[in-house]
Amino acid sequence: MMKINALDVELAVVSALHIRKNLVVPNVSWGLLHGQEADLLIVYPSNWMHEIEIKVTSQDIKADKGKRKWVIGWQDPRIHQFWFAVPEALQDHPDIPEHAGIYTVWDRNEHALKKLKNHMAWLKNNGHQVPFENGYSRDEYYRLFMMTYHYSSCYMLESEVRAAFSGDPWYCARVHRFPKKIKGARKITDEERSQLERLLTLRVWSVKKHLALEKQKTQRLKKRIKELECQAKPN
């Protein structure tokens, strides 16, 4: 099982935030907030703004427990609601503030694989041939699965079956707990919203530069691999 990281959590949460409708900006500090950094800021069409704190380990949560912004009354006055985004295993962590909402991030493929194993056990217990034990190919298994899944108490979508075979994580986010509204918060102004949009635009070009550098590294590695392969070939 691959270890989930902060970027995995961030991308899973962003996919649930309707970015076509809402403004979502990562890693905001300078340019808007003063004296603190927000992992994610979400501005809704109403100009209410929410903040999401991303944590991936219990140690992360404990280490920042004393942060002033976690205490009601110390937040930036423009933060209307405060959320945590954490892996599923941390969704009930006792050090997450009571007023904070919680997004839990889970691996849909891992869940699909568990359901798949339960389904295979059901097939075996009910006299059906079990894939893999009988040398079925993936396509043959899909066909067998679609013929038998509706008799099983373990309902799965075909997309979940394919996901379980991929072996790659597919992180999704869902609301585990809604936050309490912060009293005294105000909506951001149109000028502040424009500033966030500007920060997001600047971030795009930073990402493009990073991708270009990573592409150059990949090309150099490919070239080096070819050189080593040529050296390893017998004359």
The pTM (predicted TM-score) of the whole model is 0.74
Q: How is the chain split into domains, by residue range?
A: 6-108+170-191, 109-166
Strands 49-54 and 171-177, bridge-based pairing: unpaired
CA nearest to 179, candidates 126, 117, 103:
103
pLDDT of residue 122: 76
Cβ count near 168 (within 10 Å):
9
| 59-74 residue pLDDT tens | 999 988 777 777 776 7
Q: How far apart, in Å, are the Cα atoms of 105 and each of 60, 101, 174?
A: 16, 13, 7
d(CA 54, CA 85): 5
| 182-195 residue pLDDT tens | 888 999 999 999 99
> At residue 164, does pLDDT exceed 80?
no
